[in-house]
Amino acid sequence: MVTKSMNTNTSTEIMNMTSDLTIVIPAKNEARLIPRLLNSLANQDYPKMRNTRVLVADANSTDGTPAIVMTFRDRLNVSVIPGGLPSAGRNAGAHRADTPYVLFLDADIEPASSSLVRRALELAQRKKLHCVTTNILCREGSFTDKLFYASNDVFQYLSRIHHPFSTGMFMLFERQRFNELGEFNEQVHFAEDYHLSQQVARSKFGIVRGGVYTTNRRFQKMGHLRIARLFLATAFNYWNENFFLRDHKYWQT
């Protein structure tokens, strides 16, 4: 009887520590920025973080990104898997997930608080949501950079009136619904996050308070005007599948 009780207690403890979450991070040549993200994940107050698989889908980096990622093995359950463009990398990670939820993160972001992951997951579980995202913050860069991201956050809140959209920088998905929606379309190389998340029902979409810090490098590479045009074009073409399949040369900049 004692042995049976001990075995039952051990099994219960193992089940209680099993994570509900898999984290997927597509990356290419992110040796400089990804340590900030991984360090922040290691410091999250989600109690099951140490048992949460963190899959970095690497797209043939040449700057040592995989080696740097693996230096976090003593703090995270991290591994590197083959990746590609963001859609392909995210799908590759999701295919390896066996948890109820998958959290997609960009490699160049950093959660603004140590409770963000836990609160996002709790919100999804409590309200039975299919997709949860957060705001984008830019603590570096110009006033214009910060204004553009703030405008994105406003449009994201307003989108819940019609077709909600999530930023791919932080996108928590219920895995079953993610699979039902057909995953990320790997033929879509721009706004793949918008393309997928707009299919989520308004009642099943949530935005968790806080945000993630990102850099202004997108503006430095492409310019504010071009990004603004792409954003507006995406918003006005949410119904147009051909728009998303078109080559916008986003990753050639």
Summarised one tens digit per residue, pLDDT across range 137-156 is 988 888 898 888 888 888 88
Mean pLDDT throughout 110-129? 98
Q: Give the pTM.
A: 0.87
**In whole angstroms, what is the distance from residue 144 CA to residue 69 CA?**
32
Residue 26 near residue 57 (C-beta atoms within 8 A): yes
Both tokens assigned to 204: 């099943």
**In whole angstroms, what is the distance from residue 200 CA to residue 163 CA?**
8
Give pLDDT tens digits for 179-194: 999 999 998 877 888 8
Residue 125: burial class (beta carbons within 10 Å; 0-12, 13-18, 19+): middle
The whole-number pLDDT of residue 11 equals: 41
Q: Which CATH superfamily is domain 2-216 in?
A: Spore Coat Polysaccharide Biosynthesis Protein SpsA; Chain A (3.90.550.10)
**In whole angstroms, what is the distance from residue 8 CA to residue 14 CA?**
10
**In whole angstroms, what is the distance from residue 227 CA to residue 175 CA?**
30
Give pLDDT tens digits for 7-55: 444 444 444 679 999 999 999 999 999 999 999 999 999 999 999 999 9
Distances (CA, A) of 208 to 115, 156, 170, 241: 11, 12, 10, 29
More confident residue, 10 or 106: 106
The whole-number pLDDT of residue 159 equals: 83
